[in-house]
Structure 1
């Protein structure tokens, strides 16, 4: 049975009465505080605190047609840099005066992802940014149509012109790593890839291959790993037993580079004297490896910020587009010129 004696929540009328001001003044304090005298604003805020007034943002959004809220859908479980991406999303949203309303969608049907977006739209969000693991979400996003603007953070261009997208330029990162080694004088550069079912691994492999071919090296070798340190360790052991060792190893990520460094240390191979090593990602602590790891830094915070900035632009009438975030080379002690051997 309902409690008929439950006290009624205080309203703006109650706040106006408590503060001794008009209803319009209370509304201005809540929505346009800059136009109200400081002493009046303080009186209204004190009344709000005493009464415990909370404004109904949903009703306000329905009335104004604006919620100043964007939705964020996390689509997939293998989003390894999610905290940094979300930091960029939240900071960009807050700077623009927006709140963030989040939802999660794991691998399922396209209809389920559409439903997740529509649930946020029904909560009056003005647009949705999707942070997606490509194997999970790509097919679902291809045909998605929504009544609100959508951007997606995901590797690889999306064949849906209505959705804006942003990604880190994986091919460019691989090119920077390979060019760095070539400029040091290396020619025998092997690439240990990540799991080639992953888009990022394939893009990094393509960047390495194109750069090696541009340097006139057609017979460069690569071997597939799985982004884990153990695969870097195993592949390094195998390459050390080959008839002709490389002078440099470019790995699919820093975890694999850690495994490579361990295998080289175990076999007494000097780095970078006998073998240079370059990783990818610039994970926390990579500068404290022995030797400190040369790697490719990806700005995941900028990735999240750009997705929100693009979304806000679309809210202002801009067209959806695809953008790349450029990585940077961080040169450290694990890379150097190849050792010159006597004839």
Structure 2
């Protein structure tokens, strides 16, 4: 029987690079502590030998798995999907693997199944993207046991938790104030699901901007993040009376809304101005191109991973709120 060739070890790398075993370890775990020339020599030896770390042995030695659990809604919504991708890339750059679990709903059974999966794999910490209200009850059970980062605005974290978010309240105020500055006074809000913290914060931002300007606050229009729900809201507005402008909680609902208005020969922005949230890739190709609040998802993912590693390593970390940016296009105009 043929014997499989021996995998190169750290000692082989050290011998090839002409350095000590400890120097190789520092290059792998604390590269900034090694002189650039030495670090490059070690990295070249690693590449030439095809050396790979034994992560199982490392986990036993350090009591850490270097695996981060990530929970994301399975709906495929643009914001959570982009945040998940950014987290996975940022984690990989920091030498962590990610175990991603999509949830269909927030039933106790499904949430417990996901948490059991993470615990079975001994994850070092958990990142929850856009946690919903029902999910928080189960997460609090693990508070203080497994470090957690919650990617949501308007959440009060417990011990062992950290919030990292785009400032959704500021985002909606930014969108609403843009319309007010254009002269609009009757501004409706197309809200996301009330079980989502970010949706509630965007609604609060719209309300606060309207109240601060002394303008009447309409009843909100309910949506579920989908273009279909935006279309239904547009049909309802056509029946009940059109506002001068609409702040949509995401771009997809804005797309559906604009489609309903177009079908009824209502001009955007001639008769109704529309602002979305997320600045999704297709926003600039809507007809007309959509004014939207841009969410910096790459920065968000990096902040999540940095924050969770801080919790894991007992480094003091403060909650992170990232300021969004308004991208003005042709779906808004002066009244």
TM-score, normalised with respect to structure 1:
0.78
Give 2:327's match in structure 1, choosing from 315, 330, 336.
330
Structure 2 CA distance for aligned equivalents of residues 219 and 44 of structure 1: 63
Unaligned runs of 5+ in 1: 339-343
Moved over 4 A (4+): 11-16, 19-22, 32-38, 40-46, 109-114
Highest Rg: 1 or 2?
1
> Residue 119 of structure 1 aligns with which residue?
120
Distance 1:45 1:79, change over 3 A: closer
Superposition deviation, residue 212 in structure 1:
0.6
> Residue 167 of structure 2 aligns with which residue?
169
Distance 1:78 1:160, change over 3 A: farther
Which piece of structure 1 moves more, 132-141 or 110-119? 110-119
Unaligned runs of 5+ in 2: 28-36
Superposition deviation, residue 30 in structure 1:
4.8
> Residue 3 of structure 2 aligns with which residue?
7
Tell me the secondary structure at the aligned position of residue 290 of structure 2.
coil
Determine if the alignment matches structure 1 residue 142 to structure 2 residue 140. yes
Is contact 2:173-2:209 (8 Å) kept? yes
Counterparts of 1:3-152 in structure 2, within 5 Å, are: 7=3, 10=6, 21=15, 27=21, 30-32=24-26, 35=38, 38=41, 48=49, 55-63=53-61, 65=62, 69-78=66-75, 80=77, 81-96=79-94, 98-104=95-101, 106=103, 107=106, 108-109=108-109, 112-121=113-122, 126-131=124-129, 133-135=131-133, 137-152=135-150
Is contact 1:57-1:67 (8 Å) kept? no
Determine if the alignment matches structure 1 residue 280 to structure 2 residue 274. no
Is contact 2:72-2:84 (8 Å) kept? no
Cα-Cα RMSD: 3.5
Counterparts of 1:305-316 in structure 2, within 5 Å, are: 305-316=302-313
Superposition deviation, residue 185 in structure 1:
0.7
Counterparts of 1:251-270 in structure 2, within 5 Å, are: 251-270=248-267
Q: For residues 128-171 of structure 1, what are the alpha-carbon distances to aligned partners after superposition, in whole Å with 9 as ceiling and x for unaligned?
A: 43435324521111231455533232443144122112122222
> Residue 235 of structure 2 aligns with which residue?
237
> Residue 31 of structure 2 aligns with which residue?
none
Aligned residues: 321
Is contact 1:282-1:296 (8 Å) kept? yes
TM-score, normalised with respect to structure 2:
0.79
